[in-house]
Amino acid sequence: MARAKPAPVRDVLIVGGGIAAHTAALYTARAKMRPLILAGTGMDQLSSTTLVENYPGFPEGIQGPELIQKCKEQAERFGAEYVGEDAESLQGKKGAYEVAAGGTAYRARTVILATGAKARTLGIPGEKEFWGKGVSTCAPCDAPFFKGKVVVVAGGGDSAMEESLTLTKFATKVIIVHRRDAFKASKIMQDRVLGMKDKIEVVWSAQVLEVLGDKFVQGVRVRDASGKERAIPCGGFFLAIGHDPNTRWLAGSGVQLDPQGYIQVQGVTTSLPGVFAAGDAMDPHYRQAVISAGAGCMAALEAERHIERAKAEGSY
Ligand code: NDP
């Protein structure tokens, strides 16, 4: 592979294209750190959702793509520069960090990692087609849209339990379809779910094969352990089969990851000095836009402090 062309050393490089990255960009731009954002070539999670009703400041809700676009424009107004490249590696070199992307070695004294996570999907027919039209991966975001409907949830971990409990507040009935005959979730969450027999039904040892519908979800086709297939009529289908953080590119960088691949942090500080993390790449628990934005702000303030300290110590 051709050696990446080195770029001038900046104060801060932000990797990611979601709300954590844009918030870090806004704060570092206003702090006159001239941030460069490697925003990737893919789509962040908010850009692939529809109406966001739980982000403060928008009483009528806001479309996910519009929220993200506004955050980006706000950062650009203060001078943040965006590059649509995917980061390939991170390395510490001669007092600066180097991030390789699209044939260039982007260099900076501090780096903010905000590459997000991807909700796992099943890859079954109808899943993409009805995305945002009854198929969702976020009950806290979308549950109120399923008022008075029957919904199916796939998964057996804590997320599936939590999403199901959230959905019971709106849906008339929640049907959990789990691929095994026992949940993976913590005992306390299982007990809560299994204690709600009037609202939550469990279909054990079954797989969802297809999402059915017309303009909106109308059902799912499932196969049980005996191989028998049937359609379950429902108005919504929630995937809660886990998330994968977008952190593979950090292999060999020295940034410590947990066994699931999430960036390990103390607050927003990673295992490398001057490298901070924000958003779903370091947060397996909350996965909410407002928390990612908050962490992006924290990472920006820490990056600014890091530079100030380096200046005070004469190592800048
Ligand atoms: P998990 O990886 O814990 O669970 C994923 C679930 O989805 C498992 O039951 C798994 O089945 C199932 N699954 C995975 N792939 C497929 C597939 N292809 N087809 C069908 N089913 C599939 O992910 P979660 O998002 O639930 O949780 C992630 C982490 O976040 C955990 O550590 C969890 O404890 C934590 N969390 C904690 C919460 C809380 O404390 N309130 C709330 C939410 C999450 P199988 O069981 O067979 O492996």
Q: What is the pLDDT of residue 7?
A: 82
Q: What is the pLDDT of residue 195?
A: 97
Nearest CA to ligand 1 atom 37: 158
Index of the ligand 1 atom closest to the CA of residue 184:
46
Nearest CA to ligand 1 atom 4: 157
Alpha helices in 135-232 (DSSP H): 139-142, 158-168, 187-194
User: Given a cut of 60, is residue 1 above it in pLDDT?
Assistant: no
Concerning whether 138 is annotated as a catalytic residue, the answer is yes
**CATH number given to 5-118+244-312:** 3.50.50.60
Amino acid (one-letter) located at 99: V
Query: Is residue 13 within 8 Å of residue 99, measured between CB atoms?
Result: yes
Among the options 11, 44, 71, 138, which is catalytic?
138
> In CATH terms, are 5-118+244-312 and 121-239 the same topology?
yes
25 — pLDDT class (breaks 50, 70, 90): very high
User: Given a cut of 60, is residue 145 above it in pLDDT?
Assistant: yes
Residue among 78, 79, 98 nearest 89 (CA): 98
Pocket of ligand 1 (CB under 6 A): 120, 122, 154-160, 162, 179-180, 184, 240-243, 284-285
Q: What percent of the chain has pLDDT over 90?
A: 89
User: Given a cut of 80, is residue 181 above it in pLDDT?
Assistant: yes
For the segment 52-64, the average pLDDT, to the nearest whole number, is 94
Output the CA 142–ligand 1 centroid distance in Å. Answer: 19
Q: List pLDDT tens digits, range 31-44.
A: 999 999 999 999 89
Output the CA 159–ligand 1 centroid distance in Å. Answer: 6
Q: What is the pLDDT of residue 2?
A: 63
Amino acid (one-letter) located at 70: K
Q: List pLDDT tens digits, range 76-86.
A: 999 999 999 99
Query: Which of 184, 191, 220 to mutate for ligand 1's pocket (most ligand atoms within 8 Å of CB)?
Result: 184
| Domain residue spans of the chain | 5-118+244-312, 121-239
Nearest CA to ligand 1 atom 23: 242
pTM of the predicted model, to two decimals?
A: 0.82
For the segment 227-235, the average pLDDT, to the nearest whole number, is 97
Q: What is the pLDDT of residue 213?
A: 98
Among the options 11, 44, 71, 141, which is catalytic?
141
Q: Which residues contact 220 (CB under 8 A, 6 or more apart)?
A: 152, 177, 208, 209, 210, 211, 212, 231, 232, 234, 237
Instruction: Pick the more confident residue, 284 or 2.
Output: 284
Q: What is the pLDDT of residue 51?
A: 83
Query: Is residue 101 within 8 Å of residue 83, measured between CB atoms?
Result: yes
**CATH number given to 121-239:** 3.50.50.60
Instruction: Pick the more confident residue, 90 or 1.
Output: 90
Q: How far is CA 85 from CA 99, 200, 218, 240, 278, in A?
A: 11, 44, 39, 29, 19
Nearest CA to ligand 1 atom 39: 158
Output the CA 13–ligand 1 centroid distance in Å. Answer: 33
Q: List pLDDT tens digits, range 242-297.
A: 999 999 999 999 999 999 999 999 999 999 999 999 999 999 989 899 999 999 99
| pLDDT, the chain, mean | 95
Q: Is 10 left (phi over 0), alpha (psi -120 to 50) or beta?
A: beta
Query: Is residue 206 within 8 Å of residue 228, measured between CB atoms?
Result: no
* Calpha distance 237→138 (Å, rounded): 10
Index of the ligand 1 atom closest to the CA of residue 207:
20
Q: List pLDDT tens digits, range 157-174.
A: 998 999 999 999 999 999
Q: What is the pLDDT of residue 179?
A: 98
